[in-house]
Amino acid sequence: MKFFVDTADIGEIRELAEMGILDGVTTNPSLVLKANRPIMEIIKDICDVVDGPVSAEVSALDYDSMIREGEILRKIADNVAIKVPLTWDGLKACRTFTGDGSMVNVTLCFSAPQALLAAKAGATFISPFVGRLDDMGIDGMELIQDIRTIYDNYPDFPTEILAASLRTTNHVKQAALAGADVSTIPPAIIKGLVKHPLTDKGLDQFVADWKKTGQTIG
Ligand code: E4P
């Protein structure tokens, strides 16, 4: 499973990229608001640091304006994935951009039929939002499982499942078990994956015992 980071914060992206565990980045208008910088600068800076797909979302809702904005965004770098909403116009824009050889991330997916339509429109990535479904009392991970089954039934579909709106380390585990191709994860959750109380406890014990040996290595 590929790891994308879900942030527009270049400092956090740099740290993860240097560690070599990052396969791409997703941003959205709310993350751009949080970063408080012009989107063109943000996406350019991220693409300078990360080789994999960097999702940049259009703000327009109608087809013509999405195409105009997407053209601007994709000129920033070759690894920009144009992010469009899962609407009729968004899917039309998806087909146009993928037909031109650009990557497209279709976002705000909340049902399997939506994901089916996105694959038919040639999406590079479909982004089902797990956490936002969980928030409503609906099992978001079941959606990932359903889409996996559907896409596996039709191996010609070009679309990768990008599990989004992941809020916990358990979401990441469940997305991997369900066969998501990609998980986009907030930086704090990526860092949380390393944590286990028994690792901390074991390490404390080893440090204490090593001191008692009176030895040094080298
Ligand atoms: C995905 O591309 C979105 O940016 C993101 O995962 C949304 O997550 P949220 O529901 O926590 O805002």
What ligand 1 atom has the least distance to the C-alpha of 6?
4
Cα–Cα dist 39/27, whole Å: 10
Q: With contact defined as beta carbons under 8 Å apart, do 147 and 128 qualify?
A: yes
If you measure from the C-alpha of residue 213 to the centroid of ligand 1, how many angstroms do you get, rounded to a whole number? Answer: 49
Task: Show the beta-strand stretches assigned E in 87-204.
Answer: 103-109, 125-128, 160-163, 182-185
Q: What is the pLDDT of residue 143?
A: 98
Q: Is 183 in the pocket of ligand 1 (CB under 6 A)?
A: no
Give the rounded percent of residues in the chain with a pLDDT score beyond 70.
100
164 lines ligand 1 (CB under 6 A): yes
Protein residue whose Cα sits closest to atom 10 of ligand 1: 165
Atom of ligand 1 minimally distant from the CA of 26: 2
Whether the ipTM is more than 0.90: the answer is: yes
Domains in the chain: ranges and CATH? 2-213 (3.20.20.70)
Q: Is 115 in the pocket of ligand 1 (CB under 6 A)?
A: no
Whole-prediction pTM: 0.96
Ligand 1 in contact with 184 (CB < 6 A)? Answer: yes
Torsion (CA) 164, 169, 174, 175 in degrees, nearest 10: 30
pLDDT of residue 215: 98
Give the active site residue among 83, 120, 195, 212. Answer: 83
Residue 83 annotated as catalytic: yes
Give the chain's residues under pLDDT 50: none
| Spatial separation of the C-alpha atoms in residues 96 and 16, rounded to whole Å | 33
